Structure 1
Amino acid sequence: MTGSAAESTSDTGAAAPQQAGRAPVTVLVLPIVADLVAVIVFVLIGRASHGEGILGLLNTLWPFAAALGVGHVLALVLGRNRPAQIRWTGLIVWIVTVAGGMLLRTVSGQGVQLSFVIVTTLVLAVFFLGWRLVWWLVERRRARAV
């Protein structure tokens, strides 16, 4: 570590910037919105291949949106109050969203085929962890420029 007040230990143990200078609401809300947009995009892509209308979209969306909310609450309860963090927050939100979404689909009588579980797991990993990686790289570069 460089000892700078603007840095903290990152997901990999290396120095990384804190999210200082941003309003706390933005730091908490923006990642939740980004994750929700990612889930909506995932559902839109999937539903487009089936040619279903808005009811099909909402029917597919709600289990994952609900599980996403649970994932973010769980991350906060576990003390992971940095929603843009890849490691722990990103992993918790991703795993809970996939597992919880599949559980809610099952109990609500929706189909849960193995191929759907695999695609969901991979796509949401890329979406949830991908934007967090980009965020981390931008913040890291911004801190080095200072």
Structure 2
Amino acid sequence: MDDLRDLYQQVIFDHYRKPRNYGPLPHANRQAQGFNPLCGDKVTVYLDVESGAIRDVHFEGSGCAICTASASLMTETLKGRTPDEAEQLMEHFHAMVTGQGTNEGLGKLEVLAGVREFPQRIKCATLAWHTMKAALENAAQPVTTE
């Protein structure tokens, strides 16, 4: 089990140090901002949604390792999915990190399952996801975890 935990930590730190899909998305047609006042995480999520699918997704901002890794993994996971699939994935991910669901079907996102052992970090792990949902809904107000 320690080997698996070490592997998960390596993946998290890799996505923190070299986040995927980081930076503005010039052709985004939806975006939202999110803020976690407890940790100081700030995230902007950019989406390009066309023909009922998320064609591209990027993020930018500043945050802790958990927040940045979660956002990076989220961007890789959402490309090609429908908005409904993205929201279902968000619910499944949220259930996993809060200990109310399983890791089944989450693929790489499983590396963040250990967050459930640190309740104060759940908001860090879910900020980008709540921000993505706000972007899908074209929310005008920034998302906050408080």
TM-score normalized with structure 2 length: 0.32
What's the TM-score once normalised by structure 1's chain length?
Answer: 0.32
Larger Rg: 1
Q: Which gives a bigger RCO, structure 1 or 2 (Cα 8 Å, sep 6+)?
A: 2
Query: Which of the two has greater strand per residue?
Result: 2
Structure number with the higher helix fraction is: 1
